[in-house]
Amino acid sequence: MSTNPKQDQQGTRRARRAAERQAAAPIRGSGSSGAGRSPILLITALVGGLAVVLLGALVIMQGSGPAKVDASGLIAPTTFAPAELAAGRALGKADAPVTLDVWSDFQCPACGQYAEIVEPVLIRNYVTPGTLRIVHHDAAFQGERTKLPYDESVEPAAGARCAAAQEKYWPFHDWLFANQSGENKGAFADARLRAIATNVGLDVLAWDACRATGEQQTAVRSETAQGVANGVRSTPTMFLNGESLVGVRSATEMGQKIEAAAAAAAP
């Protein structure tokens, strides 16, 4: 019986290609789509996933720790109230003939304009010479709109009161107004308040303990209610020797009123 060498060679090649295709085909399991995957790849993926989870948890823990202070983005005030004239939330001589009671909210943009533009002029021209005494009061209105447990009007005001316990109300006041950034947008989140406390030079642990009692937050809300009872409906509202002044007035206008009040108070 004779054979055809050419047919034998073709059959051999077909058999070899079939064997190669079978060897290259993935192994299919009966019920698991991952049965043909390499155990080494599975282990590598699992370890990588755990690493990502652990790294995320570490970042969260570091960001939420009570000792974490983020001072990024803070702006130093351009002017500071004279510390030697400060007494708690008041600035100026106790026997000054004119008193300016200022009801304001640390979040209020108009209050910021007054504090950064008008007040420094009044301090230089009238507080330092002894004509004027400025007394700040809390009218924490803006944070009430959110109805959130953390009130960005109440908390900075409470922080300022706790700074006053360390005789640093006014530098804290100056840092707060220099770092306004919209209302209820996180400018006075706890981490930023703690960063301000650090920049002011407070004993931050003692300051934290003061805020943690909740007494100063209660005092802020109580004074806000007192202001409403006295006719304060918006901020800033000021009383110059009893005369009500609502909204921001220019330093020139305020100066004229202060001089007139001083003349009226003279014997």
- pLDDT tens string 180-202: 988 999 899 999 999 999 999 99
What pLDDT, on a 0 to 100 scale, did the predictor assign at position 217? 98
Is 133 within 8 Å of 122 (Cβ atoms)?
no
What pLDDT, on a 0 to 100 scale, did the predictor assign at position 97? 98
Backbone φ and ψ of 108, nearest 5°: -70, 120
Give the Cα separation of 86 and 164 in Å (integer).
10
Give the Cα separation of 246 and 206 in Å (integer).
36
pTM: 0.73
What pLDDT, on a 0 to 100 scale, did the predictor assign at position 20? 55
At the second CATH level, the architecture of 90-265 is: 3-Layer(aba) Sandwich (3.40)
Give the Cα separation of 218 and 111 in Å (integer).
22
The answer to whether the bond into 236 is cis (omega within 30° of 0) is yes
At residue 235's C-alpha, the angle toward residues 231 and 236, to 5°, is 100
- Alpha carbon distances (Å) from 155 to 108, 164, 199, 229: 14, 14, 17, 22
Q: Residue holding tokens 């706890």?
A: 190
- pLDDT tens string 104-151: 999 999 999 999 999 999 999 999 999 999 999 999 999 988 889 999
Is 247 within 8 Å of 234 (Cβ atoms)?
yes
Q: Hey, how many other C-beta atoms are within 10 angstroms of the C-beta on 43?
A: 10
Q: Which of 78, 83, 153 is nearest to 115 (CA)?
A: 78
Give the Cα separation of 241 and 99 in Å (integer).
5
Residues in the chain predicted with pLDDT less than 70, given as ranges, are: 1-72
What pLDDT, on a 0 to 100 scale, did the predictor assign at position 21? 53
